[in-house]
Amino acid sequence: MNAIRTTRMPTIDQRLPTGGELNRINERFQCNARCTTVPVMELVRHHRPTSPEALRTLIEHHHLHHHLHKCPQCNCKSAGSVEQFATTLYTAQFREPSQHVQRRYTWDECYRFQYTLFCVAPLRGLAMEHMALRHIREALAGLTTAPTLVVREATEHEDVMCAVDIVVERVVTQDAGVDTGGEPAPVAPAIVLGIQVKPESVLHRKCVMEQNRQKQETFGAPVTFMVYDRKGVFRPTANGVVKGVGVKGGMV
């Protein structure tokens, strides 16, 4: 187990072992459901762990100290440790008839899978989201036809329920009037575009793509994907994403 744990992030070109048969079992029996594991991205965004091992310890802490009451900082609690998540996956595979599986996986293999899923992949994913956010901001800064556009990280609701990581908004003000003392009054930002950042491997997972698209239909604005390859190159580029933004911040 100690050989699996690490304080170093794998390079972007190193493929993470989070697919295959264990992933199918994990999703089929909902071993990775937020209600029975942990809302790991919320932990990452609020506590900012710097390594996979720091995140594993953080998950364990939120189980031991916040299994009854949510953490006041991130409003999260964990239903277990990564070791317990591995045990759940290990036992779930035996609910499948033997003729339907290629082989049975060891607990160590299940632990490696869950450690990668909960401790490594979230940190890589967040790093790529931040990179995409930075690229979008830089692209919009050069878009002189849309000076009122701003970019922000998605809220928890937008992330979980709408499958959106980045939100582009148009900030507007209403005309000055008597009630505002001659100053323009702020108006609630209008959402122009949602962006989801994913590795390109997700494009080949039909069920995941369908689930994301269904969630994105509830967002109330267009949603596009920015996918990155094993070299960390985004497709489409940030410039390609924002070039459809019109003068008033609407989509052309």
Backbone angles phi, psi at 35, to 5 degrees: -70, -20
How far apart (Å, rounded) are the C-alpha atoms in residues 64 and 73?
16
Note the pTM of the prediction, 2 decimals: 0.77
Q: Do residues 52 and 106 share a domain?
A: yes
- Tell whether 113 is covered by a domain: yes
How far apart (Å, rounded) are the C-alpha atoms in residues 43 and 50?
12
Q: Check residue 138 and give its pLDDT.
A: 92
- Tell whether 112 is covered by a domain: yes
Range(s) of the domain holding residue 208: 142-242
Residue identified by tokens 């369908």 is: 210
In tens digits, the chain (252 residues) has pLDDT values of 667 888 888 888 788 888 889 998 998 999 999 899 999 988 998 999 999 999 999 999 999 998 778 999 999 999 999 999 999 999 999 999 988 888 999 999 999 999 999 999 999 999 999 999 999 999 988 876 556 888 999 998 999 899 999 999 988 766 545 555 666 666 668 899 999 999 998 888 788 899 899 999 999 999 999 999 988 999 999 999 988 665 444 443
The total of structural domains in the chain comes to 2
Q: Do residues 106 and 157 share a domain?
A: no
51-87 tens-digit pLDDT: 999 999 999 999 999 877 899 999 999 999 999 999 9
Q: In this structure, what token pair is assigned to residue 198?
A: 């994913």
H helix or E strand, kind and range, residue 199: strand 190-199
Q: Do residues 123 and 24 share a domain?
A: yes
How far apart (Å, rounded) are the C-alpha atoms in residues 154 and 164?
6
Q: Do residues 42 and 107 share a domain?
A: yes
Pairing, β 173-174 against β 190-199 = unpaired
- Tell whether 69 is covered by a domain: yes
Q: Do residues 58 and 151 share a domain?
A: no
- Tell whether 36 is covered by a domain: yes
Q: Do residues 224 and 168 share a domain?
A: yes
- Tell whether 236 is covered by a domain: yes
Q: Do residues 156 and 85 share a domain?
A: no
Q: Do residues 116 and 211 share a domain?
A: no
251, 224 contact by CB (below 8 A): no
Q: Do residues 64 and 107 share a domain?
A: yes
- Tell whether 10 is covered by a domain: no
Q: Do residues 55 and 98 share a domain?
A: yes
Point out the domain boundary residue: 127, 159, 194: 127
Q: What's the residue count for the chain? A: 252
Q: Do residues 84 and 41 share a domain?
A: yes
Q: Do residues 148 and 233 share a domain?
A: yes
Where would I find the H helices in 73-205? 82-92, 107-115, 121-141, 156-162
